[in-house]
Each structure stands twice: as C-alpha cells, then as structure tokens.
A and B are shown apart, each in its own frame.
Chain A
Amino acid sequence: MATTLQASLDRLRATRVWKSIFRRGPAVTNRSRSQAVFGNLFLHWLPVKVREKALTVRASYYLGSISFLLFIALTVTGILLMFYYHPAVPQAYRDMKDLRFVVSNGVFLRNVHRLAAHLMVLLVFWHMFHVFYRGGYKPPHEFNWVVGVILLLLTLFLSYTGYLLPWDQLAFWAITVGSNIISAMPFVGSKMRFILLGGNVVGENALLRFYVLHVVVLPLAAFFFIGVHFWRVQKDGGLTVRSKNDGKK
C-alpha cells in the first residue's frame, strides 16, 4: 500500500498544477531542501537548519510556540464570536446570554476564548522569564528581546480590552478601576483616560473603542510583531541553547 501511495504522490507531483504552486522538484538534497523553505511564505521565517538540541523539550519548553498556537486559537474563536457580538449597549450583554442559551456550542466558544487568553498571558510571562534566565536578551538577541517585550505588552492590552466586551458588572468595574489607574499618571493621565474611554465614563463609546482595539488594532499589531519576532529568531542564529560551557569559566 505504501508503494501505491508513493506512486500516486509522485504522479501528483508531476502535474502542472502542483508544479505551478511549488515551483520545484522533491527536496532531496540539502540545497533543494533549503530552497523549499526559502520559497515558502509560511516556512521562510524558520531556520533552514536547526540544532538538534534546540528541539528538545528542555531547550524552550515550547513556550513561545504554544503561546503562538494559543494566539491562533484565540483568533479563530474570536472571529467566530464576532459573528454573534454587537459592541453596543445593552445588546452586548444580551449577546452573552444568547451565546450561553441559544448559540450551538456558544459556551464552548466563549470558554475556549477566555481560557486561551488567560493561558496565553501566563505562558507569555513564563516565556519571558525563561528567556531572561537563559540570558536570551544578550547580544545578538537584544532587538528580539525588545520585540518580545512589545509582544508581552500587546498580549496584556488584548487581555484588558477583551475584558470589557461582555459588558457585565465585572467588566464594567474592572475597566472603571483600570482606567482610573491610567488617570493617576502625572500631567497626561486624565487626557489618556479620556482618549481611551472616548469620554469620561465607561459607556457606549468606551465599549466601541475597546472593541475596535481588541478585534482590529491590537491583533494586527500582534501579528506584525510576531512575524518580526520569529524572523529575528532565525536571523539571530536560532534559540539560545545552553552549552556545556555555560556557567563555567
């Protein structure tokens, strides 16, 4: 059976459609393999060659990758949730009720989105600590460290803006408290708060602003910086792997 499968795969690779998409033959040599990676949008920001050690669990605990997967999961569930959500008062809360009582698997959707968000915040922090204690901020990784910090902040902002959207008491007061903390900033505090809320109270304008930030601005920024982050991992020479000489003079 294996041979028939192989044969049919070979036949497929010989077709014009396949060739038009992948543009090259089977990756059998190192050169053709690296060409295959370079020539693919989704693979080209990964290194062509990886040190074996970098793939072990202990090297990274896959914290960055899992964070990215969570981000993907959040994007997918978030888009599905957007089909059921109106950023308006009081419809927003009614939509929560509908998700719970009427939408098929609505509770599941919400829970996945929420739990994934919590988990992502946790893992991104863990990722940062891990990189820090491994010395991953050291040259040549300084720039990527800074990008990582930006991504951490974006994650936190995403989490914060998403918190208001259910428009329940918890959301309302959390954002009230949060925005009051912003206004404690010297000189610009109250202006910042006004800009964030689109007014002086947590109301319909605030809900709309938080919604736009949560579903458009911040995810796009996060996508951009994730791309840069991954790209730089490759350009900076892969993961920081502890060598046997670490900790020794």
Chain B
Amino acid sequence: MAPEEMGKVTYRMRLIFAASSLLFVAVLAVSPVKDLLREWKHYKRGYLQFARTRPDTKRLTADYRPDLDQIWIPEMNVVDRCASCHQGITQATLADGSVPQPYRAHPPIPHRVREWGCTPCHRGQGVATEVAEAHETTLAWEQPILPGRYVQGACGSCHHDARPELPKLNRGRQLLADHNCAGCHRLQDIERSVMQGPDLTSVGTKVSREWIYKWLKEPRTVVDDSGNVKVNGYETQESPRMPQFRLSEQELHDLSAYLSAQRSHPVAPYKFSGAVVAKWGKRPDVTDQGELRFRQMFCSTCHSLAVTRAGETKLIGGEIGPELTKVGSKVNPDWLAAWLLNPQGYLAHSKMPRYEWSEEDLFTVTRYIETKLTDSDLLSNVPQLGAATKEEIAHGKKTFSEKGCASCHAVGSSGTQKDFGPDLSALGSKNVSQLEFGKSTIPRNLSSYIQAKITDPSSVNSAARMPQYNFNAADLEAITTALLSMTGPPATSALQKLTIPRGNPQFQPAGEFARIYERYQCADCHKFNGYGGDLAPDLSYEGSRAQRQWIISFLKNPQTLRPTLTFRMPQFNMSEREAAVLADYLSMVMQSPDVRQEAVNAKELTPAQAALGKQLYEVKYQCQSCHTIGSGGGYVGPNLNNAGNWLKPEWIAAWLSNPQALVPGTIEPHRTMTDGEIKALTAYLMTLRQSGGKAAQKQVAAHGAKAGGNGVAGQ
C-alpha cells in the first residue's frame, strides 16, 4: 500500500463492515426475541383467550397481570412459578374436568395453594418457567413431578401420623409394617417390631424337616398376576408374612436340615393325668367335644379355618393368628399341648392369650386339632429327606445368614440382625442417577424402579438378595406411595417445624393388672389410650362407660352386645379374682375427662322421667331402628336389654349430648337434645335391667355356642 492510500477505506471494506455489523445486530437480537417468546408468556396469553370464552370472564381476569406469577414462601424455601401457566389454579369455576390444562383449578384440599406452594407436595422444579424443566427429569433437575396417583406420598413426608384422608398412604405403611420390611431395611416411621418372624431357636421340636422344606419352597402360593394370596390353597385377605425366596433344591435341603436341628430350648411335653386320658381317651365323641370347646372359646376370632359352603371353600375367621385348617399335620402333638397351655413359654412375643384351661378341655381340643385339622396330602410333594447330615447343617447355617433369614428370625440367644438390606429411610428423595436399573427396560424414574424392585428384584439387579413379593396393583401402588413419602429429614429447620410427628401411643400398665393384661393379650384386639388392636371396642374410656359389676360378669362370661358381629371375645375361663382386678383397674384408670360423674345423679332420676324417656326413645328419636330392647329393634347398635346394669348414667348423658366427642367416628347420630330429654332418656335406659344370675348366663353361653357354630360351620 502506497503512503497516499493510507487511511483510505476501499469499497470492499465498507461492504464487509456493513454486512458484519448487520450480522452482529441480528445475533444480538436473538436473545431478546427468545425472551419475548418464552413458554409461560404463551400460556399467559392463552389464558386471556380462554377466559373470554367463559361466562365469568371479568372475575377470571380480575387478578390478571401480564408478568410472571410466583408463590414465594421464604421460610419454606419455596419459589413456585407454576401459577404463571396454571393461571386458574385458585378459580373455583374452573374446577371442572373439561377445563383444559394448564388452566384447571386445583381440587379442594385442606392446604391453601397460596400459602403452601406447589412443589412441597407435587415436587418438580418450582422455579422453572418451561414445561419440560418444571415437570420432568432434565439435565439439571432430577426430582420430577410426582405422578398424581402417588401424591399421598408427598403428604406423608410431613404427615407422619395416620390421617383418614390418606387411605393409600396408610395402607402402604401398614403393608410395609405387616410384611416386616423393617426387618431388613431401615424405614422412616416404621420401626422394627420386637418380633418379625417366629423365633426358630427350637423349631425342630415343633415341626418336621419335611414341613420346613415344604414351607420354604412355597410359604404362600400366588395364583395369578393380580396377587391373590392363597394359604394352603385357600384364598385369603390376610397378608402373607413370609415372602417367597428363590431357593435352589440344594439350599432347601440345607436349610431344612439346619432348622430341624434347632432344638436348644424345647418346651417340656405336657403329660395328661391318667384320669383324663382314661375318661376321654377311648370315647368316640372326644373330637366332637373338642370341636365344641374350640368354638365356644372363640378361637375363630383370631384363627381362620377353611369352610365349604354351597360348594365354595373359603377361610372363615380372624387374621390375628395363623390359619389352622391343616395345622394338625404341621405341628408335633407333644408340642401342641405345651403351646396351648403357655404360648409365651415357647415364643416370648407371641400374641396368643394364655387361656385358663381345664385339663379336659385341653385334652379334647388337642385331640380335635390333631385328628380333624389335618391333611394327609400336605407333604406329598416333599422328597425323602432323611436325617440331617452334619454337612447339610453347616451349609444350612451359612445359607441362613447369606439369605438374610436372621433379619426376621432369631436362632439362639443372638437375636435378629439389623440392616441386612439398604437403608430406605430417604428413598423418596433419591435421584434417578443414584438408582441401579441394570438391564431392565422400565422407564427411568423412581416410582417405576420401586415397583420393579418389589415385583421382581432380579429384574433390576441380578444379584439381588431380596425375596419376591406379589402384590396386586392397588397394594403395589400403596407401598410405592408409602416409600415415596420417606424423604428423610427435612432439608431446613423451617420445614422441620412443619412436620407432624407420628403419634407413638404407649400403654404400659403396672402391677397385677399388667400381669393379667399380658396374660390375656388384651391389646391384640382392644385399644388402650391409642395403643393396641382395633378388632374390639376401644377400652380407653371403659371406666367411664361401664359399671364395675357388669365388667366382672362380662369378663367371666363374655356375652355379645352386637349379635351381628362375626368375631367375639374369647372365653378365657378367667377366675373371679382376675376379673375383679381387671374391672377395678378399668373403672379407676380408664376414664374419660369429658364424662363427669356429678353430671347426673342416678338417684334423682324419677319414674316420670323414665316414662318420658321411653316415649322419646320410641317415638321422637326412633332409637329402636338401630337398638334392640326386649325382642324388637335393630341390630346396628348394641343391644340395650341390660343397659341399666351395663352403662353408667353419666356416660349415657354425655354420649347422648355428643357421641362423636367420646368415640370419634362412631355412627351414632348426633342429635340435638335438650337437657331434659337427655335426663329422661338416661332415666329410661337405667331402668332396663335383665335379672342377673344363672338364667341369663345360661342363655348367653348357649348363644355363644350357637354363634361359634355359625362361624365355623361345615367343619
């Protein structure tokens, strides 16, 4: 370039400069244009158009602003921009299913959306303003939105207590507890129970090696994919306790050998006195008598038996104890009598009450079980196993620990082992990248993983030690929901404050009452201050409800107040003294603060009031549609024939003024009565007394026998 051309810009250079400037501006414009076309702005505009098609446009757009909408809750660390697209979320008129998403309103829930945000329950990425980022697992976000069918799992991460609004979650937690998942896994809110599976320290004295083999091979048979459970070939609602392990033939041999060799703490076989054997041993009706006693004692309240009726066989009876149809072919006769006398002597944590047996009853019932509740085909498919060799026992011991059997079953004094399986107490907040999917082709998300792992553990990990469970679709969903609720401790102390702890009901009586309470295992069926089973009435306020004398006579000879119920209180053959101790304790301790003794003075109730009460009972309030007095009335509520001897007047008064306050959830209608009417009805009910004594008891015993006969008819 010559010096005179210096500083001169050629035409070509200008052109290049102009073109590159234009290009530069165009590139710079990309970002603002993209900003203008953001997804949420599209949905915002869409909402305005949609609102115009609705009759209440004005109301729907009253709060409309063209900006981003967000719910900001600093103390919960929530910034949810979901409402930017989900514009109609709080509009009651948009709740209809025909309203297109994202404009549909949220279904009514106890929490207000504006106060709780969206992601605390639904998860997903609240700060995102793009559809995919907000809902799905993306490169920079691993907690996708919780599918609607598991949303109760989200409730459970704060609500550790059982709430009636969350049936699926409660069911899932119940299943996890029932199946002893806590035996191998650490779980949130579900503690290891004292006894997971039976203690096997002396199992060799109870059952044969062949039976162990059979049980290990098919603890429960599952008939179809929907997971219907069959016990001994009979369909049941009971949840199977022992899962199916994938055991090889060799492992079955070894394990059965090892277990049948466990006889370290045998119970002493019970020897019947010569007189009883002489009296009953040869009588042909010994089993009939045994069956009668079996029914009268209401064993069926806890144990079920297969019953064939009209060509259909099904299990009838309770689920607290095991099904007994073929138990005679299972257990050793020597062991059986010793067990019935003192179940806790063999299995310290057994739920079975210690009945007060007469020797005759024990003999006949044992005979009945041994000879009638049998199945000669039970062990027909089991190969000849012979005596256990030393080598088999050694191998069996190894297999026992490798398969994690010791997580649920104790052998010897060592107790059960903890944490055999992975800790699942924070499973619900696991990221997808932390899960092992193996070669399976299931969708890559947490809920699919949980379901695959439960239905077939080897599908995601061929070396899985976990046994196989067979749940129907609903239960699988419930369990998944419960597992998803276990998100570990809250991330912040602010969230910690929001959690509602699980109620931990405890009832620890002391003294003589405690001994009898433990002996008859009252808490298997009854609740005491929130602790115990729910088969029978809650006894937390029994002292305010029932008169002491009535409790004593009931315990000695339980008569039913509700004839339509299948399950009855067993007859324990309790002594007068035991009954009196229980009645004293219940009357003194189990009192309701809402029932005040001074509220009603029984002596002031006049016959005139009683007459008025009778009229109210029969005409105004029509109580007889549910309750029976004499021979007429309904069967929904308890029989009131003996109300005067049974109930305390102050209880009746408090009950009539507000039944749900005393027993939440009771179906007794809450009527508004005047104090006078309450007094009158109380007076009337207190006049209803059956003459005590033997006649009534006889009638009750006969009734019990009849009812028991109904329960297990066909045997």
Interface membership of B68, Cβ < 8 A: yes
In the bound assembly, the distance between CA atoms of A97 and B125 in angstroms comes to 10
Chain A residue numbers with a CB within 8 Å of B6 are 52
Interface-side segment among B128-136, B183-191, B302-310, B574-582: B128-136
In the bound assembly, the distance between CA atoms of A102 and B128 in angstroms comes to 8
Determine the residue in chain A with the shortest Cβ distance to B140. A168
Tally inter-chain residue pairs, CB-CB below 8 A: 28
Is B133 within 8 A of A105, CB to CB?
A: no
The 24 sampled A-B contact pairs (Cβ below 8 Å) are A52-B1, A52-B6, A94-B79, A97-B125, A97-B128, A98-B127, A101-B81, A101-B127, A101-B128, A101-B129, A101-B130, A101-B133, A102-B68, A102-B81, A102-B129, A104-B32, A104-B35, A105-B31, A105-B32, A105-B35, A107-B31, A107-B34, A108-B30, A108-B31
Chain A residue numbers with a CB within 8 Å of B130 are 101
Q: Which 9 residue pairs across A and B have the least CB separation, nearest first?
A: A108-B31, A101-B129, A97-B127, A105-B31, A104-B35, A101-B128, A101-B127, A105-B35, A102-B68
B interface secondary structure, majority: loop
In the bound assembly, the distance between CA atoms of A108 and B31 in angstroms comes to 6
B142: min CB distance to chain A, Å:
10
Interface size on B, residues (CB 8 A): 17
In the bound assembly, the distance between CA atoms of A168 and B31 in angstroms comes to 24
Interface of chain A residues 26 through 73 with chain B (CB within 8 A): 52
Chain B residue numbers with a CB within 8 Å of A168 are 140
Interface of chain B residues 113 through 156 with chain A (CB within 8 A): 125, 127-130, 133, 140
Given contacts A52-B6, A101-B81, contact A94 B127 (CB under 8 A): yes
Interface size on A, residues (CB 8 A): 11
Chain B residue numbers with a CB within 8 Å of A107 are 31, 34
Chain B residue numbers with a CB within 8 Å of A98 are 127
Chain B residue numbers with a CB within 8 Å of A102 are 68, 81, 127, 129
Among A102, A104, A108, find the residue whose CB has the most chain B CB atoms closer than 10 A.
A102
B615: min CB distance to chain A, Å:
72
B126: min CB distance to chain A, Å:
9
In the bound assembly, the distance between CA atoms of A94 and B129 in angstroms comes to 13
Chain A residue numbers with a CB within 8 Å of B140 are 168
B465: min CB distance to chain A, Å:
31
- Known: A101-B130, A102-B68; 18 extra A-B contacts, CB below 8 A, are A52-B1, A94-B79, A94-B127, A97-B125, A97-B127, A97-B128, A98-B127, A101-B128, A101-B129, A102-B81, A102-B129, A104-B32, A104-B35, A105-B31, A105-B32, A107-B31, A107-B34, A168-B140
Give per-residue flags for A91-106: 1 if the beta carbon is below 8 A from chain B beta carbons, else 0. 0001001100110110
Among A101, A104, A168, find the residue whose CB has the most chain B CB atoms closer than 10 A.
A101
B605: min CB distance to chain A, Å:
69
In the bound assembly, the distance between CA atoms of A227 and B129 in angstroms comes to 44
Determine the residue in chain B with the shortest Cβ distance to A93. B140
A96: min CB distance to chain B, Å:
8
B86: min CB distance to chain A, Å:
15
